[in-house]
Structure formats: structure tokens, C-alpha cells
Chain A
Amino acid sequence: MTSNQAEFENKQLDINSLPRFTEVEFYRLDHKYLIKLNIRTGIGALVILGALIVGYFLMIEFKILILWSAILFLPIFLWLFYRNFELQKRNGYALRERDIIFKRGFLHEKITIVPFNRVQHVSARKDLLDKFLGISSLAIFSAGGSASDITISGLLSRNAEALKEAISKRVSSNG
């Protein structure tokens, strides 16, 4: 009985002495990611601009309304382009010995830490735009729900491959 008690310990930890994940250095995403985001936003802007122009010339009775909505859309898209810029600057990832940290978001920042021994599988994806720009997305699936899955988009393809290889190796060796 006494030996059992000696083995069991549950001491309080000092919060201030814990290692800080915020101290790790985050790698930024490639600047081509910004191009990708801006192309997407740009396509959205063009579609709306086209619709407004068509409406302006075809529906004469709504001319004023359409002009006002154009004025309304301008700051929205300027904001979206600025947001893309901030996203590219703020999103980042870091690799530690036992886990991967992914930080994303501008106004609403979210940091996910996935330990390698909880990673189920890894997948590298490229959509059409990614292929032109030479970038990839790396999706890391963890056990459990989709809330803990992370997708790091905007990695240079060769970095994505290297990262995938490194994660796979650690997933296999960590058991």
C-alpha cells in the first residue's frame, strides 16, 4: 500500500514554467499564396462588377440603386484584398519534435496543435490555380472530428513534399 502511494504523484505544475508554444518561430506561407487569394477575390469582384454593369445598362429604372450598391461593394472588396494581405502575413506553421502547430486568421486567430501520434493521415492537394503557381495544400487529418483537421494552403510544392515526408516519418515512428 505504501509503495503504491509513493508511485502515484500528482503535483501541481507552475504555469509560468511551462514551455510556451508561442515562442516557437512560425514559418510564413509563400507569397504566391497571396496571389492565389487575390485571384479568387478578384474573380468574385469581376463577377459582381459584370452583373452591376449589365444591370446599369439594362434596368434603367434601377440606375441609382445600382450605383449605390457599387459604392457599397467597393469598400467590401478593398477590405477583402487587405484581409488577404494580412492572412498571408499572419498565417504560419511550425514543426516541433512531437507536434505541428498551425496558426491562421486575421481578426479571429486560431491556433491548432496536432501531435504526430494523433495524425491519421496526410494528403497533399493541388487545384488548378495551385498548379499554375507551383504551390500545394497539405491536409493533416487527426483522429476524431473534422474540427481538429488542419489544411495548410500556400506551401511551395517542394516544401509541401518535404513536410509531408517528415510528418509521415514521425507518425510512423511515434506509433
Chain B
Amino acid sequence: MDSSNFHRPQRQSKIGVILVFGNSLYLLFKNLWFLGIYFFMNELDSQTILNAAIVATIIFILALAYSILYFSRFVFLINPRTEEFVLQKGVFNSQTISLPFNKIQQVNLRRNLVQRLIGVYSVLIDTAGSKEKEEEIKALSRIKAEKLAELLISYSRLEENI
């Protein structure tokens, strides 16, 4: 793993699509679970069930398309010229975040149960300030995650010494 790889735009590990998709399904479920109760409480004819199944499939496909788009637009890189870490994300609302190396407070690696199962790591980049100001890259392979963390830390040390 060469450090200069991070100087070009990078995507997350491909398997990260599963994480994004799982997350959007979770959000859908959280907002629409009461519809399920409606279907269980009432006796429905087969036509209604068929319609509901079609709508559910369409929502499922849209969520999948959104996840793939979100994944492919989630790009990060290290820009040595401006001395910052750049993160681009978003499908409808897009956002470009620049973190200067000397403002990086800490870099954490983290993994939850799902990430453990699919073998990826979260890299959290923390700057001073409130909680919402930390950036998270949710799916990186172990080698890439460690390399990125190491690079960011070494860059921020380098900045401090100047």
C-alpha cells in the first residue's frame, strides 16, 4: 500500500455498499413500521397485498439505487498541496469537507458488529469542537484504514513541528 494512493480520490471498500444499503433500509423501517401494523390488523384481499408488494419492491430498488449512488459519490483524498484531508459525499445534497492536517485532533478506528461480519473498519477523524464535527469513513479494509490513520497522524505531527 503506497501512501501516494491517497493523493488520488479514493472510494470505500466495495462491500461498504452493504452498510449504506442496510442503513437506508433501517431508516425506511424506522419511518414506515406502523404500516406493517396496519396490514396485520386488517384482513386484506389479495389485490391489496399484491399492490403493497409491488410498492415495497419499488421502494427496495430505489433504496438500492440510492445506496449505490451514495457509495460511488463518497470520495476522499489527501491533498498534500493544500495540506488537508478532503471528503466529498452526498447524492441530492452534496458536500465537500476540507480538514487541515494541523486541526486534526485524533484518528480512531472502530468497528461494530456488522462491520466485523463484513470485515471492514470505520475511520473517525476528529477535530476540536463539538461532536458533530467529526467525520466518519464507514467501510475501509484493515490495511487501508490503518494506512490512512497512520498517514493523517504523521501529517498532523509534521505540521505541529514546523
Indicate if the CB atoms of A164 and B98 lie closer than 8 Å.
yes
Q: When A172-B83, A175-B102 are in contact, do A142 and B129 touch as well, CB less than 8 Å?
A: yes
Interface centre among A145, A146, A171 (most CB of B within 10 A): A171
Chain B nearest CB from A125 CB (Å) reads 5
Q: When A120-B103, A121-B103, A126-B93 are in contact, do A168 and B98 touch as well, CB less than 8 Å?
A: yes
Q: How far is the CA of A120 from the CA of B105 in the complex (A)?
A: 10
**Does any Cβ of A come within 8 Å of B127's Cβ?**
yes
Indicate if the CB atoms of B93 and A125 lie closer than 8 Å.
yes
**Does any Cβ of B come within 8 Å of A47's Cβ?**
no
**Does any Cβ of B come within 8 Å of A124's Cβ?**
yes
- Which label, helix, strand, loop or mixed, suits the secondary structure of the A interface? mixed
Q: Enumerate chain B residues within 8 angstroms of A128, measured Cβ to Cβ.
A: 92-93
**Does any Cβ of A come within 8 Å of B100's Cβ?**
yes
Please pick, from B90, B97, B129, the residue contacting A144 in the complex, using a CB distance under 8 A.
B129
Q: Interface size (B, Cβ < 8 Å)?
A: 24
Indicate if the CB atoms of A123 and B98 lie closer than 8 Å.
yes
Indicate if the CB atoms of A122 and B94 lie closer than 8 Å.
no
Q: Enumerate chain B residues within 8 angstroms of A119, measured Cβ to Cβ.
A: 103
Please pick, from A120, A122, A126, A164, the residue contacting B128 in the complex, using a CB distance under 8 A.
A120
Interface residues on A, range: 20 to 34
Q: Enumerate chain B residues within 8 angstroms of A131, measured Cβ to Cβ.
A: 94
Q: When A168-B84, A172-B82, A172-B83 are in contact, do A122 and B129 touch as well, CB less than 8 Å?
A: no
Indicate if the CB atoms of A169 and B82 lie closer than 8 Å.
yes
Q: Per-position contact with B for A148-175: 1 when CB-CB < 8 Å, else 0? A: 0000000000000000110011011001
Q: Which of B67-116 contact A (CB under 8 A)?
A: 82-84, 90, 92-103
**Does any Cβ of B come within 8 Å of A14's Cβ?**
no
Chain B nearest CB from A119 CB (Å) reads 8
**Does any Cβ of B come within 8 Å of A111's Cβ?**
no
Q: How far is the CA of A124 from the CA of B59 in the complex (A)?
A: 30
Q: Residue of A at shortest CB range from B79?
A: A168
Q: When A141-B129, A172-B83 are in contact, do A121 and B97 touch as well, CB less than 8 Å?
A: yes
Q: Enumerate chain B residues within 8 angstroms of A125, measured Cβ to Cβ.
A: 93-96
Q: How far is the CA of A122 from the CA of B97 in the complex (A)?
A: 6
Q: Enumerate chain A residues within 8 angstroms of B97, measured Cβ to Cβ.
A: 121-123
Q: Residue of B at shortest CB range from A142?
A: B129
Q: Residue of A at shortest CB range from B101?
A: A172
Chain B nearest CB from A134 CB (Å) reads 13
Q: Which of B101-148 contact A (CB under 8 A)?
A: 101-103, 127-130, 132-133
Residues of B within 8 A of A (CB): 82-84, 90, 92-103, 127-130, 132-133, 159, 162
With A121-B127, A128-B92 given, can you name 12 additional A-B contacts, CB distance below 8 Å? A120-B128, A121-B98, A124-B95, A146-B130, A164-B98, A168-B84, A171-B100, A171-B103, A172-B83, A172-B102, A172-B159, A175-B102
